[in-house]
């Protein structure tokens, strides 16, 4: 399907289209692999807007942190899982059992090359993930191509519609608002739209027929998923948030055994120029972190230990926040950031970092310096959990990190 426009076929739920499309506040893309893929399901949770890693994973052992953020820094007495150097934001308490159990870890001082404080430019580069090259595809599309993801549900986007980047490229994907609403618009006994679609493209050149027929196959393959009402396992209670709904659908698809290889979930509202802190309920950072933690904890509980053993989730964001707080108890666009990693193969309960310090002379134009490329972190996961060898076809010129943050699959 190289070179084919994937935006012409509409499938349910408010006009979701055949193509990688994402929502302004939340979207999810899922990709189903061929039977030959035996690695982890890789889940990429994008925290849109510029996540403040200095709040989520606070450098409590760095005195310059408290000097730069007198009103929003996390007090040492408030953090959880503190080790004297770093501590977790108290709103992450729902994830503490996973941290203590070794399924959740963090990486500090990560970022991407050629930093920019433009949301759009930074997001595009983060999802292209090929700085210094002419590649225009999304890195998750490149990854999927190497797994042999050729099934009828090779790629799925859940949520509202906006242009796709991380899945941009030849790997086919469809868009749905949710699993339940994924039907062909107008389909009924009196209006057999699917049959009409197949007849319309029968005998057409592949370049024209492939998108429509791929959508038809995906619709057909999704029918068994809706045959029974879904009940989360493990007493999991998802919050009534877009992220909670997306992760609930994601767990449902993983547990259905359809060969899910990769998923991308977007969560917005992290652009906190004001009311970021302090770390108390009612402040934006606290409330957003708490809701996200509830959703992730429910996702892990729903999968159970056996299911989580075959899943690795990583968080990314286009950039971090400035080290110094602003006059609105927030922080402006910055650079270095933190990532979270969740999964059965993660060596958790630890913050991995090549910490540059927050001393004025160590900052990058007032920002936390990024000492680890985010692609190197994902690269280590690709090699150890997804069965990849060299990374050049996914992340050109990037070597995997050597933190040892995951156990290699046997």
Residue 402 counted as domain residue = no
In the chain, the N- to C-terminal Cα span, in Å, equals 33
pLDDT tens, residue by residue, 196-205: 888 889 889 9
What are the pLDDT digits (tens) for 254-313? Answer: 898 877 888 888 898 999 999 898 899 999 999 999 999 999 999 999 999 999 999 999
Convert the pLDDT of each residue in 308-325 to its tens digit.
999 999 999 999 999 999
Query: What is the model's pLDDT at position 40?
Result: 93
Q: Which two tokens stand for residue 87?
A: 């501590």
Which residues lie closer than 8 Å to 124 by C-beta, 6 or more apart?
Answer: 165
**Per the domain annotation, does 253 fall within a domain?**
yes
pLDDT-derived band at 181 (thresholds 50, 70, 90) equals: confident
Q: Has residue 80 been placed in a domain?
A: yes
What are the DSSP calls for 327-377, one per residue?
Answer: TTSS--B-S-EEEEEEETTB--SSEEE------GGGSBTTB----EEHHHH
User: What are the backbone angles phi and psi of residue 183, rounded to the nearest 5°?
Assistant: -140, 160
Residue 174 φ/ψ, nearest 5 degrees? -115, 165
CATH of the domain at 126: 3.40.720
User: What's the token pair of residue 296?
Assistant: 């992730």
Per-residue confidence (pLDDT) for residue 163, from 0 to 100: 47
Residue 222 has a pLDDT of: 81
Q: Is 185 helix (H, G, I), strand (E, B) or coil?
A: coil
CA proximity to 187, closest of 196, 175, 198, 174: 196
Task: Kindly state whether residue 306 falls inside one of the protein's structural domains.
Answer: yes
Q: What pLDDT digit, counting tens, does each position of 125-135 carry? A: 999 999 999 99
- Residue 337, strand partner residues: 110
The CA-atom distances, in angstroms, between 220 and each of 204, 213, 217 are 20, 11, 5
Side-chain half-sphere exposure of 62, counting CA atoms within 13 A: 21
**Residue 52 falls within a domain, yes or no?**
yes
pLDDT at 169: 85
Give the model's pLDDT for residue 344. Answer: 97
Q: Can you give the pLDDT at residue 380?
A: 98
Is 297 domain-assigned?
yes
Give how many domains the chain has, as a whole number. Answer: 1
What does the block give as tokens for 385? 């959990």
Query: Mean pLDDT highest for which of 4-8, 30-34, 208-212?
Result: 208-212
> Tens of pLDDT along 91-127?
999 999 999 999 999 999 999 998 899 999 999 999 9
Is residue 5 a part of any domain in this protein?
Answer: no
> For residue 149, what pLDDT is reported?
67
| Boundaries of domain holding 261 | 10-385
The confidence band for 35, taking pLDDT boundaries of 50, 70 and 90, is: low
The answer to whether the CB of 222 falls within 8 A of the CB of 181 is no
Q: Is residue 126 part of a domain?
A: yes
């Amino acid at each position: 399907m190289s070179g084919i426009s994937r935006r012409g076929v509409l499938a349910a739920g408010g006009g979701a289209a055949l193509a990688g499309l994402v929502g302004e506040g939340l979207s999810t893309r899922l990709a189903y692999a061929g039977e030959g893929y035996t690695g982890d399901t890789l889940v990429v949770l994008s925290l849109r807007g510029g996540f403040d890693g200095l709040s989520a994973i606070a450098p409590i052992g760095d005195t310059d942190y408290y000097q730069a953020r007198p009103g929003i820094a996390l007090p040492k007495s408030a953090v959880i899982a503190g080790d004297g150097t770093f501590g977790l934001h108290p709103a992450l308490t729902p994830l503490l059992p996973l941290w203590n159990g070794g399924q959740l870890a963090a990486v500090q001082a990560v970022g991407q090359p050629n930093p920019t404080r433009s949301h759009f430019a930074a997001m595009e580069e983060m999802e292209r993930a090929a700085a210094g090259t002419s590649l225009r595809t999304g890195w998750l599309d490149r990854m999927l191509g190497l797994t042999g993801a050729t099934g009828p549900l090779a790629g799925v986007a859940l949520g509202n519609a906006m242009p796709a980047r991380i899945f941009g490229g030849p790997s086919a994907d469809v868009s749905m608002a949710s699993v339940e609403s994924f039907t062909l618009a107008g389909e009924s006994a009196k209006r057999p739209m699917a049959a009409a679609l197949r007849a319309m493209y029968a005998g057409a050149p592949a370049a024209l027929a492939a998108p429509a027929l791929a959508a038809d196959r995906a619709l057909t393959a999704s029918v068994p998923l809706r045959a029974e009402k879904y009940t989360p396992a493990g007493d999991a209670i998802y919050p009534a948030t877009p992220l909670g709904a997306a992760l609930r659908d994601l767990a449902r698809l993983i547990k259905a055994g359809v060969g899910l290889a990769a998923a991308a979930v977007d969560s917005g509202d992290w652009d906190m120029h004001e009311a970021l802190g302090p770390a108390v309920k009612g402040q934006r950072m606290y409330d957003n972190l708490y809701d996200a933690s509830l959703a992730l904890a429910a996702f892990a509980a729903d999968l159970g230990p056996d299911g989580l053993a075959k899943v690795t989730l990583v968080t990314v964001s286009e950039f971090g926040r400035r080290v110094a707080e602003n006059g609105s108890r927030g922080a402006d666009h910055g650079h270095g950031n933190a990532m979270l990693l969740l999964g059965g193969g993660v060596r958790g309960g630890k913050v991995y970092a090549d910490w540059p310090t927050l001393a004025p002379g160590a900052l990058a134009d007032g920002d936390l310096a990024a000492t680890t490329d985010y692609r190197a972190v994902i690269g280590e996961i690709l090699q150890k959990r997804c069965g990849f060898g060299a990374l050049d076809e996914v992340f050109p010129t990037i070597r995997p990190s050597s933190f040892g943050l995951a156990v290699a699959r046997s």
